[in-house]
Structure 1
Amino acid sequence: MERQNIFTILARDGHARRGRLSTAHGTVETPVFMPVGTVGSVKAVCPADLKDVGAQIILGNTYHLYLRPGDELVARRGGLHRFMRWDGPILTDSGGFQVFSLNELRRLGEEGVEFRSHLDGSRHLFTPEKVVSIQRNLGSDVMMVLDECPPGGSDRDYVARSLGLTTRWARRCREAYPAGAGEQHLFGIVQGGIYEDLREESLAQLAGIGFEGYALGGLSVGEKKADMYRILAHMGPRLPENAPRYLMGVGTPLDIVTGIENGIDMFDCVLPTRNARNGTLYTSQGKVNIKRAEFREDDSPLDPACSCYTCRTFSRAYLRHLYVAKEILSFRLNTIHNLRYFLDLTARARTAIEAGTMAALKAEIAAAYPEDGA
């Protein structure tokens, strides 16, 4: 049985697309930013906060949820949506990036990847079939195939061999979950490092298998920013036209608008939540380091252009006080604001695409965050 098209394009501005993704837990308006909830929780905020800041879809991680609390435990409680009390769509990463970042704790082979848990050193094996099984237990709306993510400095020969393995694993994932087998969507991951021809080869192989969506993986993993943008510009518009396009683990505000400009629909990154906990906040005027002494007696809101709970309610002086005092509330208020900024950014992109003003939005973001394009 073939699955009906799950993605509709509503407007265009150059390569930029304004679209709509259908899932079992609701419709997602794209371009979209997905807050990262690695272990079934977006750090420092609850589902009500996520709804308030405008989150449509969030991300969980197969590797971490498999190790703790265990995908079978989650399945017995009705799946990840019910377990964490989030009723919107969820995308789960396959865990490939986490496994391959373990370096000395893992061993790669045709069957899959054997690794030691970073928690207790216990041995585990991720096969393509196992990764699909875990994600089916979690009940996510979008599942990712198992792939190998070569480091940014990998040579061409290694990347080419890795690409072949990723394709074979992707085919096994598709066989484990055929198109139309259920309500979950399965996305393929295009690899190929910083080599345009290898990226095209990877895409052709994945398109031949057939997936509901396609992701660009293996970017922002140590390569130069110029190389990332070059691959993004080359591959973004080449990804299948009638399927959602996802740029994995990227990035800064300028990265996101550059991705949108090149036809990307979906983004995730830990940057807004991690930096919130480090006191770095994103505003319409650029980054604010809230720990700086200059904010000690600043009674103005963090960002006058922002309508989030943090900016509506508290002063920069209070936010600085919370951070310096190491109050837990600092994490929550900073995270609420940063997430709202990133979610507003993609909402503004949707409006800009409809109006044909995407270039003006990119120029505005580049002016506020010039260091991000380095």
Structure 2
Amino acid sequence: MYKILKTEGRAKRAELQTVHGTIQTPVFMNVATVAAIKGGVSTQDLEGIKNQVVLCNTYHLHLRPGDETVYRMGGLHKFMSCNKPILTDSGGFQVFSLAQNRRIKEEGVYFHSHIDGHKLFMGPEESMRIQSHLGSTIAMAFDECPSARADHDYVKMSVDRTTRWLIRCKNEMDRLNSLPYTVNPHQLLFGINQGAIFDDLRIEHARRISELELDGYAVGGLAVGETHDEMYHVLEEVVPYLPQDKPTYLMGVGTPANILEGVERGIDFFDCVYPSRNGRHGHVYTKRGKMNLLNARYELDSKPIEEGCGCPACRRYSRSYIRHLLKSGEMLGMRLCVMHNLYFYNNLMEEIRTALDEGRFAQYKKDMLESMREYGEEQRAPGGDIAKNWKKG
């Protein structure tokens, strides 16, 4: 059950009750693509950094270790020893971004594994069955994620197919939840709004999928090539046409500034790999912007990453020591940076919720955006030697 507790403009302060616990929103979901957060962060670690929700990926877990394996182990919660809600992405984005030689048909997508090239097929029913095996709290519908720069005719055809796929996802999820040996018979289903940067397609699709009375709705196909202004414009246009009495999820976004802008436009759920990916490269988030701990200026700096921060890294270690670990290639350096970044994001969401509770979100957003300009906030994840052997994610 989703309950709105407070509003400020379009911004919502709410909670979503699930079988695995109540989620306070707005919320950031910590990305554990293959049932683990890159950087050596365990589910036990997450309990101490204000985590509420973990996001895992259907496509990757289907390939390794296999959803049948996870099912036989009792589902994701038991498999990764997680006592918090878990959302599983449908795998659609990965099918379209990672897979080789894909062919899109009405029944689904034929493609080759990005790992070893073997032939695979995934459609709405397959995605729902895999996610049912995983037993996540929230399952995402299988969709096509067209390029932000695709032409209008193609995007319209794609959106129409995504709508038909969504209906099939809902029917299959209803069937799976009724079976006696389903891991989580209370699994929720979120649909995904698509339409690239075309207002008419986005709005029409929002209207159509809203009629299906799903458990929640996501805005997908953003942060894939469009500008930040274009993304914000899409949110301003489409969110009012999604059910206001259901949670709204902005997929794959983003920076702290993106989150503040998204909350202002009515978004409840966010996820992004930036905190973990940037942390593995020694880039850490603070209320004054993003710092690169590899810079020589921190060699003799005895201060924590951020003074006053309650994360495990800041409570005990100096910038100088963490920089030394990073320069030495010690994994502990990456781990501490990732844990700090995840804590920063989760704490940011807690502060946003408090500001909404107290009716001062607009001022909080203004103050945070001004504060983060001191160091500057890069919009793209960096590269570098520290994490050269790590895969993206």
1:86 alignment counterpart: 82
After superposition, give the CA deviation of every residue in 1:236-267 in whole Å (9 maximum; x if it has no partner).
23321111110000000010011111111000
The residue aligned with 1:273 is 276
* Partner AA of 1:42 in structure 2: I
Counterparts of 1:298 and 1:36, CA distance in 2: 31
**1: distance between equivalents of 2:378 and 2:216?**
28
Equivalent residue in structure 1 for 2:160, among 157, 164, 167: 164
**Distance in 1 (alpha carbons) for counterparts of 2:157 and 2:242:** 22
Q: Deviations over 1:5-38 (max 9, x none)?
A: x100111111111111111111111100000000
Look up the equivalent residue of 1:37 and give its one-letter code. A
**What is the deviation of 1:305?**
2.9
Instruction: Find the aligned partners of 1:236 and 1:312 in 2 and give their Cα distance.
Output: 39
Greater alpha carbon shift after TM alignment, 9-18 vs 130-139: 9-18
The CA deviation at 1:373 is 9.5
Code of the residue aligned with 2:19 in structure 1: it is A
CA shift at 1:367, angstroms? 1.5
1:31 to 26, 32, 37: 26
Greater displacement, 193-202 / 358-367: 358-367
* SS state at 1:188 partner: strand
How many residue pairs align between the two structures?
Answer: 369
Q: Partner residue of 2:316?
A: 313
Cα offset, 1:97, TM superposition = 0.4
Instruction: Check the 8 A contact 2:207/2:242 in 1, yes or no.
Output: no
Letter in 2 for 1:59: L
User: Is 1:213 paired with 2:216?
Assistant: yes
Aligned to 1:141: 137
Asked if structure 1 preserves the Cα contact closer than 8 Å seen for 2:275 and 2:342, the reply is yes
1:74 matched to which residue of 2?
70
Distance across 2 between alignment mates of 1:102 and 1:313: 39
Equivalent-residue separation in structure 2 for 1:305 and 1:111 (angstroms): 54
Offset, 1:271: 0.5
Q: 1:112 to 1:222 in 2, by over 3 A?
A: same
Q: CA deviation at 1:365?
A: 2.5
2:286–2:372 contact (8 Å) kept in structure 1: no
Q: Secondary structure at the match of 2:294?
A: coil
How far 1:103 moved relative to its partner? 5.8
CA contact (8 A) 2:191 2:209 kept: yes
Residue 106 (structure 1) shift: 1.3
1:14 partner amino acid: G
Q: CA deviation at 1:186?
A: 0.3
Aligned to 1:12: 7
Aligned-partner Cα distance in 1 for 2:232–2:218:
15
Structure 1 distance, partners of 2:227, 2:118, is: 35
Post-superposition offset of 1:81: 0.5
> Which amino acid is the alignment partner of residue 11 of structure 1?
K
- Once residues 68 and 361 of structure 1 are traced to their aligned partners in structure 2, the CA distance between those partners, rounded to angstroms, is 42
The one-letter code of the counterpart of 2:20 is H
Query: Contact 1:236/1:259 (CA < 8 Å) preserved in 2?
Result: no
Residue deviations 1:97-151, cap 9 Å, x none? 0010036431111110111111111111001000000000000000000000011
1:294 to 283, 294, 297: 297
Counterpart amino acid of residue 20 in structure 1: E
Q: State the match for 1:330 in structure 2.
A: 333
TM-score (norm 1): 0.96
**359-368 or 185-194, which moves further after superposition?**
359-368
- Say if 2:254 and 2:271, in contact at 8 Å, map to a contact too: yes
Q: Give the superposition deviation at 1:372.
A: 5.2
What amino acid sits opposite 1:41 in the alignment?
A: A
Which stretch of structure 1 is more off in the superposition, 288-297 or 146-155?
Answer: 146-155
Given that 1:285 and 1:368 are in contact with CA atoms closer than 8 Å, whether structure 2 keeps it comes out as yes
Q: 1:202/1:33 Cα in 2 relative to 1: closer, same or farther (>3 Å)?
A: same
Q: What's 1:3 paired with?
A: none
Find the counterpart in structure 2 of residue 125 from structure 1: 121
Q: RMSD in angstroms over aligned alpha carbons? A: 1.4
SS at match of 2:210: helix
C-alpha distance in 1 between matches for 2:74 and 2:46: 21
- Contact 2:100-2:114 at 8 Å conserved across structures: no
- One of 169, 173, 190 as aligned partner of 2:169: 173
Aligned to 2:55: 59
Find the aligned partners of 2:266 and 2:316 in 1 and give their Cα distance: 37
Which residue pairs with 2:190 in the alignment? Answer: 187
Q: Is the 8 A contact 1:112 1:126 kept in 2?
A: yes
Question: Aligned partners of 2:107 and 2:213: how far apart in 1?
Answer: 21
Which sections of structure 1, spanning at least 5 residues, go unmatched?
Answer: 1-5
Percentage of pairs with the same residue: 47
TM-score by length of 2: 0.91
> Is the CA contact (8 Å cut-off) linking 1:92 and 1:143 kept in structure 2?
yes
Indicate the SS of the match to 1:209.
Answer: coil
Instruction: Name the SS of the counterpart of 2:121 in structure 1.
Output: strand
Structure 1 equivalent of residue 352 of structure 2: 349
Please give the alpha-carbon distance, in whole angstroms, between the structure 1 residues aligned to 2:132 and 2:84.
17
Aligned-partner SS, 2:313 = helix
